[in-house]
Structure 1
């Protein structure tokens, strides 16, 4: 999977995923059920992409910023959030019939997205020492997570 070691390739993949969320190749607002299917497909692709990308993180003892594609991972999280907040997934704003249809197509999408982001965040961190657990009460922190905090 050398493809995942290149940040530019990860960016192309993120751009393709983002295009699936906000399609310009068909009228998404009018064809909401087709957009819902596209969103579900893209969300499954994102879950697969995340599990593959996380396998190729540098080992914790070698966590150097130059070996980590932080921009690509940041764009990936943005794509996931856009997916979870898309019109077919955010059904509270839809009419009753559209809401029912979209829910049947996208049910659990927000929960799966939240689980994927939480899992990725955990894997980007490192295991704390016993002292850090005692002092701060955390079970996972630092590692590559620090590149995403202001």
Structure 2
């Protein structure tokens, strides 16, 4: 008796494909939920008191990174604790104020007045491409699809066995 007939092979293929699709949907769900994170550079910058004097002397302002890495939304929060107003990407931040800035350019450099040289690097964190969900789907879904397919084929074969007559 052959284990895989044409019908059983098609059924196993469909179960395998179904397992891949379910695994891919789970992977896409997690891909959509998880935010990219950047631990070394915050989305918030606090301009310390005396920053304007340091910049006038050509010195680096402590606590101000050389590159801002924004989250997916691209929002950067600036708190100005200096005694003079500062600008970031055309937005005015008055002394003692906090502002949220959405730079138009998503990668490269943006103009600012609290960094030596008048510009600060800006990179927008992006979620990886959706194609990264295919590997977990294959690793998770295909084996489960095959296992369920084999179980379904065996269960069908067991149901097709002729019943033995019971003694009367």
TM-score by length of 2: 0.23
Higher RCO (CA 8 Å, separation ≥ 6 residues): 2
More strand per residue: 1 or 2? 2
TM-score by length of 1: 0.25
More helix per residue: 1 or 2? 1
